[in-house]
Structure 1
Amino acid sequence: MAPARRGPAGLTTSEEDYLKALYALTEWEDAEVGTGALADQLGLSPASATAMVQKLAAKELVNHVPRGAITLSESGRREALRMVRRHRLLETFLRDELGYGWDEVHDEAEALEHTVTDRFINALDARLGHPRHDPHGDAIPSADGTLPVSAAIRLDRFTGSRAVIDRISDEDPQFLRRAAAQGLVPGAGIELPHQLDFIEASLIWVRKA
């Protein structure tokens, strides 16, 4: 059996995926994350998630007490943001340079992010003009891991009458296609109440107009 591929930090593809998934679960929601939620995010069994969390804890990449919440350590957050940077720059490249739709870039970037070097990503960043956001409105971390804090909140929790769309979740390609058809894209204004169901509103983050 061939050895598992390891990235620049000596992490396997699976370890990188777990760290990025843990970051994704906590980036926009201030909630505790357990192995069950992490398993659901990755489409794996709770037993597999538990085993990997134990490995990551042994490497001091996550903090975890059995049956308790899982959090990224400082080094774990750094590695997670490195992968987030790769993913979001690749999504931007696929849309801007190769003509992909914003509903097509997520899965392609997932496959590519483990195969390129940090040097390639930094060169890609420069080629794209150092974009600050990906096609879905998510902020792109800088090379040193700096990430601006967003004041956006979920649309289903917004109480004003007018808002500007800040970002849209990229997890559902069908919703992205419907949103684009309605003009619901980052930077667009939206009048409330808008004819969206509860689930769709929970996939959009806005700020006051």
Structure 2
Amino acid sequence: MASPAFDDYLKTVYAHTEWQDSPITPSQLAAALGIAPSSVTEMVKKLSAAGLVSHQPYGAVRLTDAGLERALGMVRRHRLIETWLVQEFGYAWHEVHDEAEVLEHTISDRLLEGINARLGHPRFDPHGDAIPDSRGHVERVPFVLLADAQPGHTGRVLRVSDRDPELLQALEDAGITVGVELTASADGILLGDAPIPLPQGAADAVWLTGQKISDVQ
């Protein structure tokens, strides 16, 4: 069943657990999509009936195998389009999310694969998010959210959330972009040996390479 609304829900459920383990609740899903909880309840029932999510009343929403496959297809579309807009049209990384939200529902599979070939089959989008391949495989490396990084932890910026365009601009102004090496400190972060101010909200929007202490104990 072709449905942009279905696809938006599935993509949001997938994204919620991409960088942490807790499944999404209906209230979190409503907040992420900016819609009323009652609307989410009705749509989740439809998704469940279509075999795309599993959900018990008042419980979390989880993707089924079929739902995951469809979500990964939409994620692939979204991230390839974001990469295309940056590399081919000169968009800044804080400008592409909303454009991709529209285009991902309109371009054909043929055009999408043409974009992929044109870009040289990129593995990551401008924000560091992995682009699933045509089989739905996603590349993974160990990561730690900056807010969870212990003082002294050094890693390169692996991913930056694209949810807040103003924060993306502030991070770029501070020199914090994908691939830059940072060190967490008790007072903030170091870029090389120099302390730099951390924009508000950045600690919960930046992921570094490495692992949390709890993951290795």
TM (norm. structure 1) is 0.92
Deviation readout 1:75-105 (Å, 9 max, x if unpaired): 0000000000000000000000000000000
1:197 Cα offset (Å)? 5.8
- 8 Å CA contact 2:16, 2:23 repeated in 1: no
Which stretch shows the higher mean deviation, 142-151 or 92-101?
A: 142-151
Q: How does 1:170-181 map to 2 (within 5 A)?
A: 170-181=162-173
* Residue in structure 1 matching 2:101, options 110, 120, 126: 110
SS in 1 for 2:73: helix
1:26 Cα offset (Å)? 1.2
- 8 Å CA contact 1:81, 1:145 repeated in 2: yes
- 8 Å CA contact 1:61, 1:73 repeated in 2: yes
1:34 aligns with 2:25: yes
Moved over 4 A (4+): none
* Residue in structure 2 matching 1:45, options 23, 36, 46: 36
Distance in 2 between the 1:185 and 1:197 partners? Answer: 13
- 8 Å CA contact 1:88, 1:134 repeated in 2: yes
SS in 2 for 1:187: coil
The aligned counterpart of 1:100 is 91
SS in 2 for 1:164: strand
Alignment length (residue pairs): 200
* Residue in structure 1 matching 2:160, options 164, 168, 173: 168
* Residue in structure 1 matching 2:7, options 4, 11, 16: 16
Q: Where do 5+ consecutive residues of structure 1 fail to align?
A: 1-9
SS in 2 for 1:192: strand
Distance in 2 between the 1:158 and 1:166 partners? Answer: 13
1:119 Cα offset (Å)? 1.7
Q: Which amino acid aligns with 1:165?
A: V
Q: How does 1:60-209 map to 2 (within 5 A)?
A: 60-161=51-152, 162-193=154-185, 194=189, 195-196=197-198, 199-208=201-210
- 8 Å CA contact 1:139, 1:147 repeated in 2: yes
Deviation readout 1:147-196 (Å, 9 max, x if unpaired): 01231110010115222110000000001001111111111011322132
Distance in 2 between the 1:62 and 1:120 partners? Answer: 29
Distance in 2 between the 1:123 and 1:32 partners? Answer: 34
Task: Output the aligned Cα RMSD.
Answer: 1.4
Q: Which amino acid aligns with 1:204?
A: V
Q: Which amino acid aligns with 1:183?
A: G
SS in 2 for 1:107: helix
1:198 Cα offset (Å)? 6.6
Q: Where do 5+ consecutive residues of structure 2 fail to align?
A: 190-196, 212-217
Distance in 1 between the 2:68 and 2:111 partners? Answer: 21
TM (norm. structure 2) is 0.89
SS in 2 for 1:24: helix
